[in-house]
Structures are given as structure tokens and as C-alpha cells.
Structure 1
Amino acid sequence: MSVHLNHTIVQARDRDETAAFLVDVLGLEPAPVYGPFRVVTLGNDVSLDVVQAGGDVVAQHYAFLVSEEEFDQIWGRIKDRGLPYWADPHHRQAGRINTNDGGRGLYWSDPNGHNLEIITVPYGG
């Protein structure tokens, strides 16, 4: 059997702001409303279903595998917006990217404190 992730729910203090942030920085299509969600669709038919949190948002980690060209575009948008970014998940190496597994990667935060990551090579090469 082949199992694929179809969607996951992303809690947000402001559903629309968070969806717009993800769409903008990642360079994706606008996120339509579906019930209580803003649906951010990724290139592999997986969606991030952004929902208004009923209370505190617990920060999660979301990693995106991107091409080298997409990495440059996303990194450019992060820098253009003056967003802090790090080479490591613990945010100790500010303003740097990593070259783990022969690719490139970086971390930044969304408006809710979710730890976002882009990588050009899956972990383990």
C-alpha cells in the first residue's frame, strides 16, 4: 500500500493573515476558503488547511522540499520582507543557510511562531 499525506491543519491566530503569508512567501496560488479553513495547496497535492485557533497556538514545524530555483526565490522574498532566518532549527545561526545533505536549507517563522523550513535535498541525501 502507498500512503500519502493529503492535508494537515495549521492553527493560526489570524487564519487569513497566516494563509496570505504562506502563499506570499512560498509563491503559491491564493488560498480559497473551504468551510472554516483557508486551503494552501502545495505542488504535490498536499494542503495546509489554515484554521482560526480557538485559543493559544502551539508552534509546529513545517518543512517544504523545493527546487534550487524555488529556494532562491523564497529566500529572496524572506530577505525582501526583512524576515529573520536561520541555518538551524533552534535559531542559533542567524542570517545563514545550511548545506546539509548536499543541498541548501533555512528556517524562518510565520506570524504564529510556527517554525518553517525549506530544503533542496531530503534529509539523508
Structure 2
Amino acid sequence: MDIDYKKSIICYAITSFFWIICWTIVLAQNGVMGIGKGTVFFLIAVLVGIPCGVIGGIIGNIIRTAAHPDMIITSNGVWGLLFQKIFWKIGPQAIGILFGAAIPFMILSKLFGFAE
């Protein structure tokens, strides 16, 4: 495996872990989980959510490389160009990581009885 792919996968895993922590904090603030049940839920969410988030990031990167335009034309000036450049650099991967980590998290929260 190339070094760039290893760094990308590590970044995808760290980002997935960050999202799982954020969503677990939101669930804990709602008061629906106890300490023991919340800890088990978090550990299972990490074990399932990180690989799914990495897979989502890889799929997003594949989509980015396939759909990335050769030239960007914008009517919004420098800011529009800047936002387009940033989106095509990290946008599809971020969306893939978000959905990849969110889907197992929501399924687990439903199974544990935290979601209605």
C-alpha cells in the first residue's frame, strides 16, 4: 500500500472517531443512556463505525477522482473559486466519512433503544 493511501486511511479513521465521539456526547446529553450501557454502546460504535467511516471515505475519494473537473469556472469571484477548490479537495471524502460512520451509529442507537 502506498504511503499516501495509508495517511488517507488514518485521517479517515481519526475523522470517523471524532464524529462518533460527537454523536455519543449528543446522545449522553439527552439523558437516554446510563453509564454502563453508554460505555458498551460507545465501544461497539467505535469498533463498527470507524471501519465503515474509512470505507465511506475511500468511496468518497473514488468518486472525487472520477468526477473531479479539470477546470473550475465560477461567477462568484475568488470566494467561489476558493470554495470550489476546497470542496473538490475534501468534500466527497468528508461526505463519505459522515455517512459511513453515521449509518452504523444510527442502527446501533436504534438497537440499544436510544433512538425513537
Using the size of structure 2 for normalisation, the TM-score is 0.25
- The structure with the largest helix share of the pair is 2
Q: Select the structure with the greater relative contact order (CA < 8 A; seq sep ≥ 6).
A: 2
Greater gyration radius: 2
Structure showing the higher strand proportion among its residues: 1
